[in-house]
Each structure stands twice: as C-alpha cells, then as structure tokens.
A and B are shown apart, each in its own frame.
Chain A
Amino acid sequence: MIVAALVALPFVPLVLWTFAGEWRFPDLLPAEWSLRGIRYLLDPGNGVLGATLISLLVGVSVALASVAVGLPAGMALGGYEWRFKGIVIFFILLPILVPPLASTMGIHLTFIRLGLTDTVLGVFLVHLVPTVPYTAIIMTSIFVERTGELEEVARTLGAGPWQTFLHVTLPAAAPGVAVAGLFAFLISWGQYILTLLIGGGNVVSLPMLLFSAASGNDPVITSALALAFAVPAILALVIALRYLKPLETDRGRGFLGLGKVS
C-alpha cells in the first residue's frame, strides 16, 4: 500500500492541477474546479493536437523501423554462436548507457550539411539511436529461447527460407516484436533533447510544449500537458499487462536493461 501510494504521489498534483480553477496556498484542495486545462489541450490554436500528431508520427515510424532493424540483429545474436559476439553485443548496447546526446551533438554539423536538421526525418533518424539497442536486445532474448526445430521441420517439408521466416519464425517471434515495438515507441515518445537539438524548435513534438509550459508559470496548463504526455505510457502498460503476460517471465524481466525506458 505504501509503495502504491508513493508511486501515485506525483500524479496527485498533476490531476488536481489539471482540473483546478482557483487553488491558493495553503489550501489542500482547489477551491474551484475548471476545465480550462482540458480546453487548452483541445483548442487547435494551441498546437497541442498538432504536436501530438508529430509525436505519434515519429514514434510509430521509429517503432516500425527499429523493430525492422532489431529483428534480424536479434536473430543473429540469439540464434547463432560465432566469434566476437561479445564485442558486437557491447557495441549495439552501448547507446543504452552512453548518452545519445553526446553523439547527436557530434553529428549535428553533418546533419546541417545534409539538410536533415529542422526536419521530421532528421528527428526520426536520431531517435533510432536510443531505440535500436532495445529492440535488438529484446529480439535477442526471444531467439535465444528458440531452438530452430520448427524451422527445420518447415524446411524438411519443403518450405523455402522466406516461407519459413514468414510462416514459422515471425509468428513465433510476434509477442517479442510487439514488446520491442512498444518499447521503441515509448522511448521515442519520451525524447526531448534529441528532438530539440535536431528539430531545432521547428519539429514541435509534445515534450517541446510540456517543457516550455513547465519553465513558465501556469501549473494548470503544465499539468494538463504532463497528463496528456503520460497517456501512452499508461495505455501501453495496460496493454502489456493484458495481452503480453506470457512474455513476462521473471528471468527476462528487467535484465540487460530491459524494462528501462528513458
């Protein structure tokens, strides 16, 4: 109970402020309630809907691309034994602990030259840096557990390599693909500084609005934006707990940085 209360604590003022009309110090609860925060979110003039669409567009494309990149990498890392595998794993996992901000500042100049700054494409590209390590490692954990017996059966029955991949490997890896995609989406959704650096203020995603509101002085707007920004995380959690139960083995949980979204 105490743990649940502590976890919920930061959401208490967020919810109260979102619906607060007048809330003076030292009242514990707002004296008046209002829907100003919600109206602000929905008013097209404030750009919240547009920013949400940008965040969704980037997040979904990043999720698709990083799964497409991470899936084959996971097959190679999880399904086969080969030399120098440790070094390759280290290299692919590095952006989880070495902040992508450092590399993104370094590549900024090149992006300017290539015309990638201030574009959604540029933002999409740098979001791949923190997401691909996660999709690769999640897919690796899936393929470590698969022995390849089903594939062998399919091949014996005359299926070609593509048929085998499409009809045997992919369906078996589907829960892992879903988790990896969800993770990649949430990581991309939560990015602030990479988007700011490469988007240069021209790619306005939801965290851009939240950050400028949080630096200002209107807790109602800030809280409403913060709650809107938290919605996918909460939804994802509900979905994951509902449909992806089999994947939550104790051993896989939280290991190798899994379960860590920044």
Chain B
Amino acid sequence: MGSRLKIALLLAPALVVIGVLFAGGLVAALVQSLGYFPAIGMTQVNLAAYREILTDGDFLNSLLLTVYVAGASTGISTVLAVLAALTLRRSSGRLSAVVFQLPITVPHLVAAVGISLVVSQTGLGARLAAGLGLIGEPKDFPALLYDRYSIGIILTYVWKETPFVALVVLASLRGVAADLEDVARTLGAGAWQRFWYVVFPVISPGIVAASLIVFAFTFGAFEVPYLLGKTYPTILPVTAYNEYRDIDLSARPIAMAINILIAALTAVFAAAYLRFARDLGRG
C-alpha cells in the first residue's frame, strides 16, 4: 500500500467527523446566516442579517461585553499563573500537579455553582464579612452575580484557567529557563535582571500561546455566562442562542450571523496560536 494512500485512509475517519459534523455545521450556519432558509420559505440570499447586527447597538454591547469578559479573565489568569508558577517552580512537581489539575478537570458548571455559593450575597464571602462586622444584611454585600461587571463569570474563569496557564509556564520554567538562570546568577545578575532578561524571554512564547487559548475559549464559551450572567447585554454565544430560540423564526439568520462572526474570530485566534506553537516547537 502506498504511503500516501495509507495516510489518507488513516486520516479519513477524523476528517469525516470534523468535516461533516463541524465544518458542515459551520457551512450550514453560513448559508442560513445569508437568509437562505427554505424550510420557512426564505430563499432570498442576502446580507441583511449581517447588516442588521453590525448596525445594531445590542450586538455591539454584546461584543464589548464578550471582549471584556474574555480579556479580563485571560489577563487576570495569566498574571496569577505566572506568579504562581514562579513561586511554585522549586516545589515538588507532584503536589502542584494535583493542585493544578483539579480545576482543569472539574466541569465548568461545577466551578460556576461553587464560585456562586462563595460570592453570592448570602454566600461564604458575605457570611465572613458579616462575621467580621463589615456588613449587616446580605444586600450590603456587593452584588457579584448577574452584575454589571460580570465578576462571578470572570472569577469562575480565573479559577478554571489559571492552573492551565500555570502548567504551561511551569513546563517552560523547568526546562531551559532554570539552566540559563543559573548561568546568569554565576555571572552576577540580580533577581530582577535574571527575571527580565533571562526567564521572561524564555517563558513568554508559552505565556502568549496559553493566553491565546484561554481568550479564544472564554470568548466562545456558553455555560458560565448563561448561568451567572445578567439578562442584558449577554455575551455573544448566549445572544446567538437566545436569537436562535426566538419564536420568530426570522431571527434565525441573525443567530447564525453571530455564530459565523464568533467562528471567524476564534479561527483567527486558532491560526495565531498554531503559528506560535510551531515557532515554539522550533525554538
């Protein structure tokens, strides 16, 4: 059997699954976003749905909220992860493996429920504040769920994603960085100099790659904002889902157009990530 044929046969099942169920779904979403919906008598192909969402304030608010939630979650997770990795790099690998793996494997819904019971106005945090005499009643505690600043959502993402970024950073810290740092120390570099000129350049590609993944993921994720977010504005995937479930079937092209925009943006992040990962592999 020729090796090209063999490779094609080996790849076929995966390509069929992704090609039909994923790419096929996206193509169907694209077609429907263009207003082609024969099932409900819409056969005119046009860009009305895109025109509508791009000129609509609601969509813009959703987009801004989504970028804000994804950006804040990614930023906070990344900073905390780098700090945690720098602190923990000398400790045993086994403990940090257990501690870090737990949030990674626990489903988002569990994390969201747990965090909400910590930060809600009758949650552990509020009870602690009351115990310390800081607040009298539950309503004195700041509203961190269904709130303007999406604090509950961001906290859940930070809890879930920080360990993931930290593991990537730890991996690169335990590799080349440690050796190079010893060399720098021997040559008389101070702690800050060692971090800024030696450690940081080595770990920064890993940091960028991991935060790209976190940003793209939190940009397109549904469950946590659906559970802990307020009703308006909603983040983009939730907006798409609400439009999709609208009784008025003519809202469907709008839902699909939002899906296509989400897919296009996250695909750009994916391409950027793969570029980085490839360069990392070479370096």
Which residues of chain B have C-beta atoms less than 8 A from A172's C-beta? none
Asked if A21 is an interface residue, CB under 8 A from chain B, the answer is no
Interchain CB contact under 8 A, A10 and B221: no
Q: Which of B28-36, B43-51, B53-61, B191-199 contacts A (4 or more CB under 8 A)?
A: B28-36
Query: Could you name 5 residue pairs across A and B whose Cβ atoms are closer than 8 Å?
Result: A94-B18, A95-B18, A132-B14, A190-B108, A214-B227
Interface of B is mostly: helix
Q: Is B159 an interface residue (CB 8 A)?
A: yes
Query: B97 contacts which of A13, A105, A132, A241 (Cβ < 8 Å)?
Result: A241
Q: Known contacts A100-B22, A101-B241, A102-B260; is A193 also within 8 Å of B222 by CB?
A: yes
B-side residues, CB < 8 A to A, are 3-4, 6-7, 9-15, 17-18, 21-30, 32, 39, 84, 87-88, 93-118, 122-124, 126-128, 130-131, 138, 159, 163-164, 167-168, 170-171, 174-175, 210, 213, 216-217, 220-223, 226-227, 237, 240-241, 244, 255-256, 259-260, 262-263, 266-267, 269-271, 273-274, 277-278
| A10, A80, A257, A260 interface centre (most CB from chain B within 10 Å) | A10
| A33 interface hit (Cβ, 8 Å) | no
Residues of A contacting B123 in the complex (Cβ-Cβ under 8 angstroms):
13
Known: A10-B111, A128-B21. A106 touches B14 (CB 8 A): no
CB <8 Å contact, A106 and B27: yes
Cα distance A86–B275 when bound, in Å? 10
* Chain A, interface SS category: helix
* Residue pair A222, B221 in contact (C-beta under 8 Å): no
- Are A229 and B110 closer than 8 Å at their CB atoms? yes
In contact, B138 and A91 (Cβ under 8 angstroms) = no
How far is it, in angstroms, between the C-alpha of A4 and the C-alpha of B262 when the chains are bound?
A: 35
- Does A152 sit within 8 A of B, measured CB to CB? no
- With A and B bound together, what is the CA distance between A125 and B25 in angstroms? 12
Specify which of B4, B32, B104, B174 lies most central, judged by the most chain A CB atoms within 10 Å of its CB.
B104
Query: Min CB distance, B219 to chain A, in Å?
Result: 8
Smallest CB separation, B110 vs chain A (Å) = 5
The answer to whether B22 and A129 have CB atoms under 8 Å apart is yes
CB-defined contacts of B96 to chain A, threshold 8 Å = 3
Nearest-CB residue, chain B, relative to A236? B105
Contact between chains at B28 and A107 (CB < 8 Å): yes
Contacts of A261 in B (CB 8 A): 104-105, 107
Q: Is A12 an interface residue, CB under 8 A from the partner? A: yes
Please tell me if A202 contacts chain B, counting CB pairs below 8 Å. no
Known: A95-B22, A105-B259, A211-B227. A233 touches B241 (CB 8 A): no
B128 and A28 within 8 A (CB): yes
Verify if A253 is at the interface (C-beta below 8 Å from B). yes
Complex partner residue of A86 from B168, B240, B278, CB under 8 angstroms: B278
* Contact B13 A72, beta carbon cutoff 8 Å: yes
Q: How far is the CB of B72 from chain A (nearest CB, A)?
A: 18
0/1 interface trace, chain A 225-244, chain B, CB 8 Å (1 if under) = 01101100110110011000
Partner of B270, one of A4, A98, A251: A98
Residue from A68, A70, A98, A222 in contact with B267 in the complex, judged by beta carbons closer than 8 Å: A98
Residues of chain A within 8 A (CB-CB) of B32 are: 106, 109
Contact of A106 among B6, B28, B98, B237 (CB under 8 A): B28
Q: Chain A's nearest CB lies how many Å from the CB of B10?
A: 4
> Is A159 interfacial (CB-CB < 8 Å)?
no
For B222, give its contact among A99, A226, A236, A248 (CB under 8 Å).
A99
